[in-house]
């Protein structure tokens, strides 16, 4: 239950309840306000309009009856009493001589002398008109003159209409204020949620030094808080997993390093021995045997290297860091280091590296170096008879390519995949790993290999 009250759902339901309650509260509030105002607004507001008009008419006639024989001052006293009761009312008295004798708060211009014709016209105009007018003969006798009461018709309107007229502005702005208040509260509520969700999104996007997202502070226990907590748990598990992976990677590296050491150390010893023996005075056959031993040492060394590279590539553990490099420059530097080896073997070394339209290739330089080493080593091992190597660039509408060709006896199988040896398998995996392509054409006149980058 406590959890429910801490939840966003509960808070949102509370907000909706308040929103609905505001309508009810406003309704009750207005009803109370009206009844209060109506109570304070005197008799006029009690009963219906007709009842009020009749009552006032009756009272005014009674008042006229008792006015017979009263002095002008006394009549004025009566008028003031009525004025006190009906502040909006106006009154006047025309005496028995048809003279306007007394008037209170009359806004229109009245004649001082009232002829029968004017009186008739006045009565005709005021009948059923606005203001509400009551004409009563003083002392029930038309010879004593008459008194007139005028009250604006608006005074007889229903209380709601009157209150609306009086307090309409306040009511309007009050309603607008309540709506704005609800919008503001809703806005703040959803802004708070949005802010926290965005913070969570940021935390998911920001990476720590180890490449994993960073943990976040959980401040509330609502649904987003639960999500943050789960996210932190996930980050923690990822970190654990990463550490485990790093540990395994370290173990793997150590294993490979030790294996490499254990295999290469005896090879080095063999080389040391053959080197020492080669210095002795040997027969022709002895020298041949030593030379064969040295070649075998080099081949085994290369095989070990290739096997390790192949194992790493197959397990997707070979370090790959792609970056933009000037491929022409890189290949030229690679050839500079290989040139002396081919020179020693008596090769004709032809280089024609012309700039491509775009010299920058997105590759891992170590992988590209490994590919070049493998291909050049292959030429050295398998195409020695041709004593020729050419490295050049080639461009077409579709691709740019580095082309390596020799004049050896060719490979029996020109497939990239099968029977091409572990070295070429590594070349294939690395070329495809860098989103490049390659093809090989081999005949008895030589082999040509193209490393292509499609445009």
Partner 1 sequence: MVHVLYIEDESEIGNWVAKDLTERGYEVTWLQSGEGIEKYVLTVDIVILDVMLPGLDGFSIGKRIKKENGALPILMLSARTAVEDKIEGLNFADDYLTKPFHPDELAARVEVLLRRYQKNEDILELQHLTIYTKDMRMVERETGVEIQLTGKQYHLFQYFVRHLNQILTKEQLYEGVWGERYFEGDKTLMVHIRYLREKIEKYPAKPSIIETIRGIGYRLKI
Q: Which residues bind partner 1 (CB under 8 A)?
A: 253, 256-258, 260-261, 263-265, 267-272, 275-276, 297-298, 301, 305, 308, 319, 329, 332-333, 335-337, 339-340, 350-353, 355, 366, 391
Q: How far is the CB of 12 from partner 1 (least distance, A)?
A: 55
Tell me if 251 sits within 8 A of 245, measured CB to CB: no
Residue closer to partner 1 (CB basis): 55 or 298: 298
Q: How far is the CB of 374 from partner 1 (least distance, A)?
A: 14
Q: How far is the CB of 342 from partner 1 (least distance, A)?
A: 11
Q: How far is the CB of 326 from partner 1 (least distance, A)?
A: 8
Q: How far is the CB of 348 from partner 1 (least distance, A)?
A: 11
Q: How far is the CB of 329 from partner 1 (least distance, A)?
A: 5
Residue closer to partner 1 (CB basis): 78 or 407: 407
Residue closer to partner 1 (CB basis): 84 or 261: 261
Residue closer to partner 1 (CB basis): 75 or 391: 391
Residue closer to partner 1 (CB basis): 203 or 387: 387
Residue closer to partner 1 (CB basis): 19 or 263: 263
Beta pairing, strands 388-395 & 348-352: parallel
């Amino acid at each position: 239950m406590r959890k429910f009250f801490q939840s966003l759902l509960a808070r949102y339901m509370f907000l909706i309840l308040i929103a609905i309650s505001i309508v009810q509260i406003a309704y009750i509030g207005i009803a109370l306000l009206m009844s209060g105002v109506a109570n304070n607004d005197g008799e006029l507001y009690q009963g219906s309009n007709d009842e009020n008009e009749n009552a006032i008419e009756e009272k005014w006639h009674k008042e006229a009856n008792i006015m017979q024989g009263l002095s002008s001052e006394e009549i004025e006293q009566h008028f003031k009493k009525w004025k006190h009761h009906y502040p909006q009312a106006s009154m006047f008295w025309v005496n028995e001589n048809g003279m306007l004798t007394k008037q209170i708060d009359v806004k229109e211009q009245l004649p001082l002398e009232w002829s029968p014709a004017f009186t008739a016209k006045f009565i005709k105009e005021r009948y059923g008109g606005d203001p509400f007018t009551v004409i009563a003969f003083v002392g029930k006798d038309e010879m004593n003159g008459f008194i007139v009461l005028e009250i604006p018709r608006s005074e007889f309107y229903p209380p709601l209409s009157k209150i609306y007229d009086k307090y309409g502005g306040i009511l309007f702005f009050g309603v607008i204020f309540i709506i704005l208040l609800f919008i503001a509260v809703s806005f703040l509520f959803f802004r708070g949620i949005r802010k926290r969700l965005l913070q969570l999104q940021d935390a998911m996007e920001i990476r720590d030094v180890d490449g994993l997202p960073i943990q976040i502070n959980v401040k509330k226990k609502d649904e987003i808080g639960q999500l943050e907590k789960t996210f932190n748990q996930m980050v923690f598990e990822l970190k654990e997993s990463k550490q485990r992976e790093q540990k395994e990677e370290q173990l793997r590296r150590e294993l490979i390093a030790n294996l490499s050491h254990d295999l290469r150390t005896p090879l080095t010893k063999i080389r040391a021995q053959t080197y020492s023996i080669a210095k002795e005075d040997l027969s022709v056959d002895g020298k041949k045997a030593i030379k064969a031993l040295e070649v075998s040492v080099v081949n085994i060394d290369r095989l070990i290297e290739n096997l390790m590279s192949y194992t790493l590539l197959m397990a997707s553990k070979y370090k790959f860091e792609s970056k933009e490099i000037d491929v022409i420059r890189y290949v030229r530097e690679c050839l500079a280091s290989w040139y002396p080896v081919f020179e020693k073997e008596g090769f004709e070394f032809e280089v024609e590296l012309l700039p491509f339209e775009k010299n920058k290739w997105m590759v891992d330089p170590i992988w590209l170096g490994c590919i070049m080493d493998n291909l050049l080593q292959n030429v050295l091992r398998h195409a020695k008879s041709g004593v020729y190597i050419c490295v050049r660039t080639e461009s077409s509408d579709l691709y740019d390519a580095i082309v390596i060709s020799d004049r050896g006896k060719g490979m029996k199988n020109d497939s990239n995949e099968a029977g091409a040896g572990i070295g070429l398998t590594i070349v294939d995996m690395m070329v495809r790993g860098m989103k490049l392509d390659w093809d090989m054409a081999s005949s008895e006149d030589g082999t040509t290999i193209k490393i292509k980058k499609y445009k």
